[in-house]
């Protein structure tokens, strides 16, 4: 955290359902030494775990604020589109009260984003950010026109799982798979052989630029106009992230990487995601 903060990575993305509150609690502990204006908090309302009260969105936000030790969040998300017409209007009073500074929608398709934006628009607000799975291996938001929509409407697109939970970093391969017993091993170990050509090319481009395969995959997501949310697990990874901002990929390299990704034929859609 210290290294990220001092390198300018000050937006922390979490959710109630990440450890059922534990992630928010730990995040608050780690941020204790910083003034509130030195970092930004991004957390989520998850409809699947909504309570039974009159206003489950306000209730869930209050619990998050309590765990995060703050009186506002910088960015509040509807985590997934369980019922857009039901949940989106609940954000309006939270924006008016100042407990939520900005709102975004996650895992929403184009129609759902447009509906959420219309509902907020009637109250003078808007969908300011989108957070979807977007990686070389999973470009459904691009194919569905969501990236274009975001560019045209000045909406920030936050890409998550850019590294496919480690499978695109080049650190893992059939001889050195993801840690047995982890959920990511269950998802990715069987497809690692099909990713080899892609990760080899990422590594080769990285070698040419003095960086790693992981940072080339991140630079690709930046080149596509998105803001990656990276699951950083080691302080050393921060150095590479700083450099990834400056790795320029030629159009031909981007096209080649995307062709190699398409040729893998894998589908890494998460169980929580629906069609874009």
Ligand X SMILES: NC(=O)c1ccc[n+]([C@@H]2O[C@H](COP(=O)([O-])OP(=O)(O)OC[C@H]3O[C@@H](n4cnc5c(N)ncnc54)[C@H](OP(=O)(O)O)[C@@H]3O)[C@@H](O)[C@H]2O)c1
* Residue ranges that bind ligand X, judged by CB under 6 A: 13, 106-107, 131, 160-166, 169, 171, 212, 214, 229-233, 237, 240
Residues, the chain: 276
CA atoms within 13 A on the CB side of 47: 18
Distance CA 94, CA 157 (A): 22
3-state helix, strand, coil in the chain (%, to 5): 50, 15, 35
Distance CA 206, CA 203 (A): 5
User: Is the torsion defined by CA of 240, 4, 222, 144 positive or negative?
Assistant: positive
Q: Between 93 and 187, name the residue whose CB sits nearer to ligand X.
A: 187
User: Is the torsion defined by CA of 253, 238, 22, 89 positive or negative?
Assistant: negative
**Nearest distance from C-beta of residue 163 to ligand X, angstroms:** 3
Q: Between 88 and 107, name the residue whose CB sits nearer to ligand X.
A: 107
**Nearest distance from C-beta of residue 53 to ligand X, angstroms:** 24
Burial of 255 per CB tally in 10 Å (0-12, 13-18, 19+): exposed
Reduce the DSSP state of residue 232 to 3 states and report it.
coil
Q: Between 13 and 117, name the residue whose CB sits nearer to ligand X.
A: 13
Q: Between 52 and 161, name the residue whose CB sits nearer to ligand X.
A: 161
Q: Between 29 and 183, name the residue whose CB sits nearer to ligand X.
A: 183
Q: Between 53 and 231, name the residue whose CB sits nearer to ligand X.
A: 231
Cα-only R_g, the chain: 19
Instruction: Write the CB contacts of 23 (distance below 8 Å, at least 6 apart in sequence).
Output: 14, 15
Q: Between 96 and 220, name the residue whose CB sits nearer to ligand X.
A: 220
Reduce the DSSP state of residue 48 to 3 states and report it.
helix
Quote the tokens at residue 97. Answer: 């009260």
């Amino acid at each position: 955290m210290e290294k990220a903060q001092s390198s300018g990575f000050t937006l922390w993305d979490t959710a109630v359902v990440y450890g059922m509150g534990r992630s928010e609690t730990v995040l608050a502990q780690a941020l204790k030494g910083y003034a509130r204006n030195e970092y930004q908090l991004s957390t989520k309302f998850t409809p699947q775990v909504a309570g039974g009260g009159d206003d489950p969105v306000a209730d869930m936000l209050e619990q998050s604020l309590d765990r995060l030790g703050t009186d506002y969040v910088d960015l509040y998300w509807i985590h997934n589109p369980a019922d857009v017409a039901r949940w989106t209007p609940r954000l309006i009073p939270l924006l008016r009260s100042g407990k939520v500074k900005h709102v975004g929608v996650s895992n929403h398709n184009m129609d759902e984003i447009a509906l959420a934006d219309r509902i907020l628009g009637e109250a003078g607000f808007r969908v300011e950010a989108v957070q979807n799975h977007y990686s070389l291996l999973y470009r459904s938001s691009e194919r569905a026109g969501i990236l274009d929509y975001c560019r045209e409407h000045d909406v920030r697109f936050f890409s998550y799982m850019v590294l496919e939970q480690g499978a695109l970093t080049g650190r893992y391969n059939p001889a050195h798979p993801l840690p047995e017993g982890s959920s990511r091993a269950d998802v990715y170990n069987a497809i690692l052989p099909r990713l080899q050509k892609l990760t080899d090319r990422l590594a080769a481009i990285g070698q040419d630029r003095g960086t790693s395969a992981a940072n080339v995959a991140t630079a690709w997501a930046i080149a596509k106009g998105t803001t990656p949310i990276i699951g950083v697990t080691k302080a050393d990874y921060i150095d590479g992230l700083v450099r990834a901002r400056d790795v320029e990929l030629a159009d031909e390299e981007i096209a080649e990487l995307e062709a190699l990704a398409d040729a893998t034929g894998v589908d890494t859609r998460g169980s929580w995601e629906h069609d874009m």
